[in-house]
Amino acid sequence: MRAHRVCAVAVTAATAGSVLAAGVAVAPAQAAPVTTTVTPAALGAALAAPKAPTVTAKGAFLMNAGTGATLYGKGADTRLPTGSTTKIMTAKVVLAAKGLDLNSKVTIQKAYSDYIVKNNASSARLIVGDKVTVRQLLYGMMLPSGCDAAYALADKFGTGRTRDARVKSFIGKMNATARSLGLKNTHFDSFDGGGGKGNYSTARDLTKLAVSAMKNTTFRAVVRTTSTKQRTLTRSGGHRDMAWTNTNPLLRSYKGTLGIKTGSGPNAKYCLVFAAQRGGKTLYGTLLASSSDVNRAKDAGRLLDHGFKR
């Protein structure tokens, strides 16, 4: 009877004694490949990559920060509104300021609270007349997503004789930083993401921005904080405790989360820039225009699970 030939996968191994390979005796002096039979089904299972998850967001991107490899993309280069994820750039510009003193005091102006009321914007609940440090403003901007805190920072770190001029120059610094990072599909027209059609980015660009921002130790410490209490100096010379909770749901629901920032709005829908680390692997990603706050968290979890399995 003729022997039937079987498809096989060769696995090379160093052998010290006699080896039986495909029914043939091999002399002890030889180091020969060991041949074993693998079924097509087993071979397919071994070689198949993890199935890409389905996400509700219009724009999505996931990358391995260590290798720079793209792990997932959906509309990754589509320009979309960014919502409060814009504040990542606001923080980056502040932290790059020459002669930065994180403990310098900023007096809260009525214009900041008026801006919140006029635009129905998210707030750190800063009180007019209070003296707040730059460090505290960063927490107030990045945790509860305070647009009043973002306004205060833009006013302090912009240049010009009037508040409008200072804010305009600060936004100019944001765009200049975007260009220096090679973010070709990103433009800002506000310090908090509340601008019009001129405030946009992509899932890929925001992920690159996040990787750059997280190189700063102060930024990393702020965005990974779940909640904090900050004591501020009041106008009368007393003290007030401000309690802030991070709007990033992954900090409480996904093990290994490092931070970054949520965003939302009528045009932006629900956005999330995120980062997580497990087993020595660090992943960064962005979701833009997700369908709900619940779905953006689920989408992020699916993407991270997918990335860590690869």
Q: Which residues are catalytic?
A: 84, 87, 145
Distance of alpha carbon 261 from alpha carbon 270, whole angstroms: 11
Alpha helices by DSSP H, listed for the chain, are 40-47, 87-95, 110-119, 134-142, 147-157, 163-180, 203-213, 217-223, 250-253, 293-309
The SS3 assignment for 283 reads strand
Got the DSSP string for 49-110? PPPPPP-S-SEEEEEETTT--EEEEESTT--B--GGGGHHHHHHHHHT-TT--TT-EEEPPH
Residue 17's nearest CA partner among 3, 32, 28 is 28
| CA–CA distances in Å: residue 98 to residues 20, 136, 153, 157 | 71, 19, 14, 10
Write phi, then psi, for 15 (nearest 5 degrees): -120, 140
